[in-house]
Structures are given as C-alpha cells and as structure tokens.
Amino acid sequence: ELVVVDASFISLRLLLPAIKEWLMASADVIALIKPQFEAGRDEIGKGGVVKDRDVHERVIREVADFAAETGFQIAGLTISPIRGLKEGNIEFLIWLHYGTEDQSSVDFEARLIDVLDHS
C-alpha cells in the first residue's frame, strides 16, 4: 500500500494523523514537504518563497519528528527535483513507513545534512 501526498496550503502535521487512519497494517507514504506551508509567516519571503537553509532544516525536522510521534518510521529523505515557478521554492520528499517491518535503516541526521547541502 502506498500513499503519495502533494498538498498545498496545509501542513503535513495536520494531514498525517488522517492518513494514518486510512492505512492497512503496513504501508508507505511519500510526502512532499513544502516549507512555504510549514514555516511561520515571518519566515516566508517575497512571493511565498523560503530561501533560508535554517528554516528548511527546522521544518524538515518538525515534520519528521511529528511523523515519528504519530507512529511512522523515517525511511528516506531527498530533495525534490522540481521547483516552483519563478524563483522556485525548494521542496523535499520524505518517505515514511507505517507498520511492523523496520524500514528505519536510513541515518536521518546524515541524510538531512546531505539533502540540505545539495538544496
């Protein structure tokens, strides 16, 4: 079972509990982390673009921490190859696993630093 999430104007922290209710005993979720919808209004630049690496890091950590608290395992993280129009928001793909099989073999800290270094 696979759920793919590309949502706008709402935080993944609001969606993940509802998504969890749809899932069978074992499932994967690939979700697009959009910093412009996770960050505070004061952290979003002109045109809705988030350019600050520290904000990117914080929102990724917050989504990952919330996902773990909600019962998901972090199975992967990468930068989205697609950017928004014009100046282009940098967005991130997180792979979450729900179920009894251990999929958390990813070194999240190392992966996060690598992703941020290439964003």
Q: In CATH, what is the architecture of 2-117? A: 3-Layer(aba) Sandwich (3.40)
Beta-bridge mates of residue 97: 28, 73
DSSP string spanning 94-118?
EEEEESSS----S-HHHHHHHHHHT
Lowest mean pLDDT among 3-17, 45-59, 60-74: 45-59
pLDDT in tens, 67-92: 999 999 999 999 999 887 667 889 99
Q: What is the CA radius of gyration of the chain?
A: 14
Other beta carbons within 10 Å of 113 = 12
Instruction: Give the residue from 60, 78, 79 showing the smallest Cα distance to 68.
Output: 60
pLDDT reading at 45 higher than 90: no
Lowest mean pLDDT among 16-20, 40-44, 56-60, 95-99: 40-44
- Main-chain phi, psi angles of 2, to 5 degrees: -135, 135
Domain ranges of the chain: 2-117
